[in-house]
Amino acid sequence: MKISGFTIIRNAVINDYPIVEAITSILPVVDEMLVSVGLSEDNTLDLIKSIPSDKIRIVESEWDMSLRAGGKVLAVETDKALRQISPDSDWAFYIQGDEVVHEKYHPAILESCEKYLNDVEVEGLVFDYLHFYGTYDYVGDSRKWYRREIRIIRNEKQPKEVPISAFRDAQGFRRGRTKLNVKHSGAAVYHYGWVKSPVQMKTKMKNVSRFWNADSEWEKILQSEDFFNYEEFDSIRRFDGTHPAVMQNRIGAQTWKVELDISNKKFRLKDALLYWYEKRTGRRLFEFRNYRFI
C-alpha cells in the first residue's frame, strides 16, 4: 500500500499558517509528500525547503487570481497538486495549511487505508474536525463549524470519465457534483485557522478574502479595522484534550491572551433548539454533508 500526501500553500509567513506543522503531522503515514508552493510575497518556498524530510517533493505554481470567485482558485490549485502525486499511489492524503493531525491517530489512519484498500466502492475517508478559536484553549461547538470532511481519497489508477476533484473552494472532494462514497478514517483533524492574535487574525482575513470577493468588495474589506473581535461567536467550549506534538513549539510561543466566556451563547431561537437537540442526542439535524457514508 502506498499513500501520497499533498497540499498547496501560498504566503504562509504573511498569513501565519502552521504549514510546517501540517506537513510534519502526516509525514509518518505517507510515503511521499507533494507540496505545491504558489508564487508568494514572502519566503514560503524557503520555509518548505527547510523541512528536513526526504519524503517531500516541492513543485512551484503561479495562482490564477482571475479564478478567485467562490474560492475556485483553491480548488484548481488543489487539483493541480493531486495530479502530480505518484501514479502508483493507492491513496491521496490532503492536508490544508492550517490543519494538523494528532500523532495518536496515525495507527487508525493506516488501519483504515489498509482495511478499505481493495474495496473499490470506498472512494474516500472522512475525518472528524476540531475547530480551535481565539487561542488553543477553545473549540467551536455550534452548527457553523463543519463536523467532518474528506481528507483521504482513492488515487484512481484507471482514469474515470469524471475524476475525483476538489469541490468548490477545496473544502472537500466530489466526482463532478456527485458525492463520494466514504468510510470514517477513525481520526480527526485539528483546525487552527482561527487561532492567531487579534491583529494577525484580521490581517489574514483581509488577505484571504481576496479569494472570495471581487476587487471592489475586497478594497472595502481592506479598509475595515485592523483588530478582530473574538467575542463574535455563537458558541464555544473549552478544549480538555492534548494538542499534537508538532504544535507544542507554536503553542509555547503564543504572545496574546484572549479570555472568552463559554457560557455566552448567541443563537437565534431555531439554532438554539437545534444546538440543544444535538448536545443531548449527538445527532445534527439537517446537517449538510459533502459525502455519502456507505
Q: What is the pLDDT of residue 242?
A: 98
Spatial distance between the Cα atoms of 61 and 4, rounded to a whole number of angstroms: 19
Q: Which residues contact 128 (CB under 8 A, 6 or more apart)?
A: 147, 148, 184, 187, 188, 189
pLDDT tens per residue across all 294 residues of the chain: 999 999 999 999 999 999 999 999 999 999 999 999 999 999 999 999 999 999 999 999 999 988 877 789 999 999 999 999 999 999 999 999 999 999 999 999 999 999 999 999 999 999 999 999 999 999 999 999 999 999 999 999 888 899 999 999 999 999 999 999 999 999 999 999 999 999 998 888 888 887 777 676 777 777 777 788 999 999 999 999 999 999 999 999 999 999 999 999 999 999 999 999 999 999 999 999 999 999
Q: What is the pLDDT of residue 286?
A: 92
User: 234, 144 in Cβ contact below 8 A?
Assistant: yes
> What does residue 273 show for φ and ψ, rounded to 5 degrees?
-70, -40
Q: pTM of this prediction?
A: 0.95
CB crowding 59-80: b at 16 or more within 10 Å, else e: eebebeeeebeebbbbbbbbbb
User: 67, 73 in Cβ contact below 8 A?
Assistant: yes
Q: What is the pLDDT of residue 202?
A: 87
Q: Which residues contact 105 (CB under 8 A, 6 or more apart)?
A: 185, 186, 187, 188
Closest CA to 166 of 68, 78, 87, 289: 78
Q: What is the pLDDT of residue 171?
A: 93
Q: Which residues contact 232 (CB under 8 A, 6 or more apart)?
A: none
- From residue 103, give the alpha-carbon distance in Å to each of 26, 31, 35: 8, 16, 20
User: 239, 138 in Cβ contact below 8 A?
Assistant: yes
List the grid coordinates of 273.
Answer: 433548539
How do 138-140 and 236-238 pair as beta strands?
A: antiparallel
CB crowding 217-235: b at 16 or more within 10 Å, else e: ebeeeeeeeeebebeebbb
